[in-house]
Amino acid sequence: MNRKFLVAIFAVLLVGIGACTTASRPDLTGMSFSSEPLLGKVVWHDLITEDIDTAQKFYTGLFGWTFENSNGARGENYLLARNNNVYVAGMVEVDAAQDGNKYSRWLPYISVADVDMAASSAVAAGGKIAGEAQNVNIGRVAAIVDPQGAVIGLVRSNIGDPDDTTTAAEPGRAVWNELLANDPASAAVFYSSLAGYDTHTIPRRGGEYTVLSNNGTQRSGIFKNPAEEDYTPIWITAFGVVDPVAAAAKAESLGGSIILPVSPQFRDGTTALITDPSGAILVLQQWSWNGEES
């Protein structure tokens, strides 16, 4: 009897390990990671969506991503997206709200040294907590609302951050993140304090653009929201495409919407601003693939 019991226990063990290694364990062989956190770098993007099935079809058609099932922070339906051999994003499903508000968004995660301390300092500086600090697959994470209202994620990875070679700009990968702020100057001060950025404001296309850098590497940007009046600021993620006109048309054919089409007046014809079928905003950005925006 005891012997049978032991055999049964070991059988469960073997089945568990087998299922783990063949179905659920991410294959990271195509990625390399830094030994130390790349502070200030956006190291992960999650799509929070009210329709994960439609989102999966949309991004498969638009970028050619493939997907693997994983587990969300609280057991939600969660997918990992791969662009060739690199994990580039996640998709977490939320219930459609009954209050008429839309919750679908791309959420970038900035690497910080200490998630809890960064979240506390954000609150002390006038921000709010959007997602309590917690342990998840990648490590420890939280999300905050900055003092002007934009939501951003914070992460400290257990295995180091994907290095700049792994995340080098390619079609179908996030190539840039930028904040549309009502007050870019105060936003720059806030994020500089949050993630240790060096800030550099430059004249660009008739206005000003603030670049957030860390150790000489440009990580993201801030500019004044394009309206005359104040709106809730938002972080927007740009994904690399070869041909933004064709990509925007493809997005539209897959159920997305074009907010701003490609035009010479809009960032020299390199950019389209779209939403996916559930309303999440993203930029389609032509990239020269040598590290420079086209």
Which residues in 102-161 contact other proteins (CB under 8 A)?
102-105, 107, 109, 130-131, 134, 136-139, 141, 143, 145, 151, 153, 155, 158-159
Q: Nearest to residue 33, comparing CAs of 160, 214, 217?
A: 160
The residue type of 53 is D
| Binding flags for other proteins, 18-37, as an x/- string (CB under 8 A) | -xx---xxx-x---------
Residues in the chain: 294
Burial of 127 (0-12, 13-18, 19+ CB in 10 A): buried
The reply on whether position 200 binds other proteins by CB under 8 A is no
In the bound state with other proteins, the residue whose beta carbon lies nearer, of 103 and 289, is 103
Which residues in 65-84 contact other proteins (CB under 8 A)?
70-74, 76, 78, 80
The reply on whether position 85 binds other proteins by CB under 8 A is no
CB of 137 to other proteins, least distance (A): 5
Among 51-59, 204-212, 237-245, 247-255, the segment contacting other proteins (CB under 8 A): 204-212
Quote the CA–CA distance of 275 and 260 in Å, as a whole number: 10
CB of 52 to other proteins, least distance (A): 11
Among 126, 207, 242, 291, binds other proteins (CB under 8 A): 207
The DSSP secondary structure of 113-181, one letter per residue, reads: S-HHHHHHHHHHTT-EEEEEEEE-SSEEEEEEE-TTS-EEEEEEESS-PBPTTTT---TTSEEEEEEEE
Give the number of other CB atoms < 10 A from CB of residue 253. 10
Which residues in 222-261 contact other proteins (CB under 8 A)?
223-227, 229, 231-232, 234, 259-260
Among 123, 125, 279, 293, binds other proteins (CB under 8 A): 279
